[in-house]
Every structure is written in structure tokens, then in C-alpha cells.
Amino acid sequence: MGPTIPDLMERLDVNYEQFSVALSSKGYGMLAGAVVGGFLHERFCRHIDLLVAIGLVLSAVATVATPFSGSIGMLAAIFVLSGFAEQILNAGKVYIIWLATF
């Protein structure tokens, strides 16, 4: 993300202050993802591989959509999705390690 910030700012015609507000919105997604991801991993512990796949797909969608955002609001929504997906994966870290040992 770091090297692309000036390019994204130029494409969206925003300054550092506006961009930092959008970038900090990732924290809201991370908060929601931690709560939802923890619940999903506890509830569907037999389907951890599916939850990890969903987290990876959401992360990929957010990564691909970032350069195509048309406004700062859309970019903030993409960052929320990215944080959400990241925390779903983080909630399943122990299970990923457990799956790798078998």
C-alpha cells in the first residue's frame, strides 16, 4: 500500500488528511472482522478451510478493487472490507497451523 498512496491520492484528487481518514477506516473493518471471525471460527470449527478460503477471497477482492475506486468513500469501503477479511484470517490462525500439521 505504501508506495501507491501518492498515486491513489492523485487519482482521487484528495490530500493527505482525507486519505488518512479513509485509510484509518480499515480499523473499523478489523474490529468487525475480529468479532465476526471469532464467532464464525467457533461456530463452524469443522469448516475452517472454507472460512479461510472466504477470507482470502474477500482480501483478494479488496486488493484488486483498490486501484479502481472512483471516490474516497468507495476507497474507505474497500479498506473496511480489507480489514474485515484480514481479521477473519487472523481469527483462524491457530486453526490454520493445526490444519498444516496433519
For the chain, the first-to-last Cα distance in angstroms comes to 34
Per-residue confidence (pLDDT) for residue 44, from 0 to 100:
83
CA 58 – CA 63 distance, rounded (Å): 9
Range of the domain at 86: 2-100
CB < 8 Å & 24+ apart, contacts of 63-69:
66/4, 66/8, 67/4, 67/8, 67/11, 69/8, 69/12
Q: pLDDT per position in the chain (102 positions), as tens? A: 788 899 999 999 999 999 999 999 999 999 999 999 888 888 887 888 888 888 899 999 999 999 999 999 999 999 999 999 999 888 777 666 766 776
Q: Which amino acid is at 102?
A: F
Contact at 8 Å (CB) between 82 and 63?
yes
Per-residue confidence (pLDDT) for residue 99, from 0 to 100:
67
Q: Give the chain's domain count.
A: 1
Roughly what angle, to the nearest 10 degrees, separates helices 26-43 and 72-91? 30
